[in-house]
Structure 1
Amino acid sequence: MISDTAEYALRAVVWLVQTPDESQTTRQIAEGTRTPLDYQSKVLQLLAKSGITKSQRGTGGGIRLNVSPDGLTVLDVINAVDPIQRIHSCPLGLKEHGTCLCPMHRGLNDAVKTVEAAFKNTLVADLLKTRSKSVPLGIDLPLRAPRKPKQATA
């Protein structure tokens, strides 16, 4: 239903929620989320570009979640790395269909719309608050909101 890119982004965000007070290296995130290092590196760049994560180079640097999981939706994460595609006009390019989708394409678009709404209504925090035998990434993560970065003093 979602791409590997979106899956890896969700794994990375869930991983970063567990350590809001410390930066993680790309390698730590890739190992912790069981994702290929090179692929996860590209995913993390997309998350940083969208503002979901923040990265800092150098000693003591690394990657952190830049937003609270209490305000971050699954759709936000997915759209940051591989936006969900909707059908706005006939994929076959039939002029007679124009923007009036045929029943097949309207049905497909409606299904995508339903999935999109479910992702929009699911907070990352909700994924972590649900208690079951099967927890995200196989780790029982405590849910804590990330701390705001310390302000530099002049």
Structure 2
Amino acid sequence: MMNSDFALAVHSLILLIYSSENMETSKSMAESMKVHPVRVRKILSLLRKNGYIESKEGVKGGFRLKLSPDKISLNDIYRLTSKNTLKPKCHSCNCEIGANIEDVLDLIFYKAEEKVEEFLEEYTIQDVFNILKGGSK
């Protein structure tokens, strides 16, 4: 199951599009998303470290997009936040099935994740923004 970091990262990037004229603080973003500011800061740090956003400290500081939203695919964000989360956790046991099931499921879910990544590559953050505004891709 995919973790919520993906959704938080996408939400953060969309908020930064809405406030493109100003810097957005992690506190205001956390309030908007109704999550703890530490979770938002973790996501923002990851996005900044990977070059999607930039930050400025100080009174008028905050975060803003560094890349154009049409250059950021949902797959980029998936790889950053959720890669390998589709893979099921296997329990260990001593039977013949248990000794091999993890390798078989790894192969199946590796292929499934490839399909997910291909699909997510078709959408950008700009597409998500447009859809939210009532448009289409």
Aligned to 1:108: 109
The range that moved more, 14-23 or 28-37, is: 28-37
Q: Distance in 2 between matches of 1:106 and 1:44?
A: 32
What is the TM-score with the length of structure 1 in the denominator? Answer: 0.69
Bigger proportion of residues as helix: 2
1:18-73 Cα shifts (integer Å, max 9, x gaps): 11111011111111222221111111111111111101101211100111111110
Identity of counterpart residues, as a percentage?
21
Q: Which amino acid aligns with 2:3?
A: S
Is the 1:55–1:63 contact (alpha carbons within 8 Å) kept by the matching residues of 2?
Answer: yes
The offset of 1:79, in angstroms, is 2.6
Aligned to 1:28: 28
SS of 1:54's partner is: strand
1:110-150 Cα shifts (integer Å, max 9, x gaps): 111111111122111111222xxxx4xxxx499xxxxxxxx
Give the total of aligned pairs: 122
Is the 1:15–1:33 contact (alpha carbons within 8 Å) kept by the matching residues of 2?
Answer: no
The offset of 1:83, in angstroms, is 4.5
What is the TM-score with the length of structure 2 in the denominator? Answer: 0.76
* Ranges in structure 1 where 5+ consecutive residues have no aligned partner: 143-154
Runs of 4+ aligned residues of structure 1 deviating over 4 Å after TM superposition are none
* Ranges in structure 2 where 5+ consecutive residues have no aligned partner: 93-99
The offset of 1:106, in angstroms, is 2.5
Q: Which amino acid aligns with 1:14?
A: I
